[in-house]
Amino acid sequence: MTTSAESTSEKIKEIVCDILELEEGEVTESSLFKEDHGADSLRAIEILAALEKHFHVVIDQAELGRMVNLKGVEEVVAEAAGK
């Protein structure tokens, strides 16, 4: 049985990989979207929008600076969800 945090992390990874057009095995918790995977600012905004829609949260665009890898995205989503 997976915990809520594990399923949230898996869904975040799925969303990020889908938008960045990467296989899930290519993205680690600490790999950097821009430097390691060639993501641009438009992709970052797409990720933010997809996360807001899926998790029913509002994420300030100022948080994009923290959303550089999966760990950062997970932290931002958790804070936006009030967890």
Cβ(48)–Cβ(67) under 8 Å? Answer: yes
Stated pTM of the model:
0.91
Mean pLDDT of 35-52: 96
Cα separation, 76 vs 21, whole angstroms:
22
Confidence band (pLDDT; 50, 70, 90) for 4?
Answer: confident
Q: What is the pLDDT of residue 2?
A: 54
* Sign of the four-CA dihedral 10, 11, 12, 13: positive
Confidence band (pLDDT; 50, 70, 90) for 6?
Answer: confident
